Structure 1
């Protein structure tokens, strides 16, 4: 437990860096909304209109399919970050994935607020915010672990030309990723069955 606390303390700067990268992505995504053409805004508005109607009606069969789609999407993010952490050249890929995740969240929230004003903000608070408050810390942990492992390879294999044993660091890296993947499955359950219930409280205001 003490070694775990020391590990977190040593990686504080990495946590801050990845967190700031997410935040920059969110801001960039929100600003991207202003770059949409009128035609793109109309297409998105039509898509959202259909989506609101689907959410308002609800369906258990749709929810079952949705769970696995959401779970696989989250696991892909974790898996891609894990793969990028296995090599030196994958290090920029981790940063790009973190930035893109922030952009997606920022764009979604920015568009909802820009299109529906306070109603869009309310919808974002029940549809985007709850599960992402869980997803983002998981991805930050995965990213910091991936960056740390990648830097460990650079330090020991590239810069210092050592051929030390990577078994223990690799085992820890795999174990953390598996735990984070399991957490993502739980988050997918929340996103599939809890989030739509909250969304159904708000959608009637948006389809009036």
Structure 2
């Protein structure tokens, strides 16, 4: 952590910039786009409020697949020098998604939207975002190692750094599994607690 503190700060700034951009992007929506999104969200809130049963196994695998794709893509990009800028783009896009989601809910439903964000968006992202940041820093570190020790100095053993990178990334995959379990089994229950207020607000 201390060794790569500057990289963590750099990735953190990129992510926060994405969050701010995503929140600002909400204001760029046209009236038709805003109404369409509100209509889809209203339908979703009604489904949740009616207590429709969830296919929890399907939800888990869908969430796990999505979360793992972020980790694997960053891992693959970290293996190549040319993939280094794309890691920055992925971190920025993740920030945009979070910022847009929370910004839209807060803008359309005020404090009720913020409350819904706290139970449906915030908990898993409190873990998933650090996972993305850690994977990004590891990918950057390995990519910079390649540049320094293979292309500039043309020396150094890749085996140990590669294995460390592989083990860390695999550990993050396991963490994303825990995040997906929350999204599939706990998050729907919390959403059922909040959605009655949103259905009323939507109506």
- Same fold by TM-score, threshold 0.5 exceeded? yes
Aligned to 2:148: 155
Deviates most, 192-201 or 109-118: 192-201
Aligned to 2:164: 172
Task: Tell me, yes or no, if structure 1 residue 65 matches structure 2 residue 58.
Answer: yes
CA distance in structure 1 between the partners assigned to 2:89 and 2:124 by the alignment: 21
Q: Compute the displacement of 1:164 (Å).
A: 2.6
Aligned to 1:121: 114
**Structure-1-length-normalised TM-score:** 0.93
CA RMSD of aligned residues (A): 1.1
CA distance in structure 2 between the partners assigned to 1:73 and 1:57 by the alignment: 27
CA distance in structure 1 between the partners assigned to 2:52 and 2:88 by the alignment: 37
CA distance in structure 2 between the partners assigned to 1:204 and 1:98 by the alignment: 34
Q: Compute the displacement of 1:59 (Å).
A: 4.6
**Structure-2-length-normalised TM-score:** 0.95
CA distance in structure 2 between the partners assigned to 1:169 and 1:138 by the alignment: 19
CA distance in structure 2 between the partners assigned to 1:167 and 1:64 by the alignment: 37
CA distance in structure 1 between the partners assigned to 2:65 and 2:51 by the alignment: 21
Task: Tell me, yes or no, if structure 1 residue 46 matches structure 2 residue 33.
Answer: no
Aligned to 1:5: none
Match of 1:21 among 8, 14, 36: 14
Q: Compute the displacement of 1:54 (Å).
A: 2.2
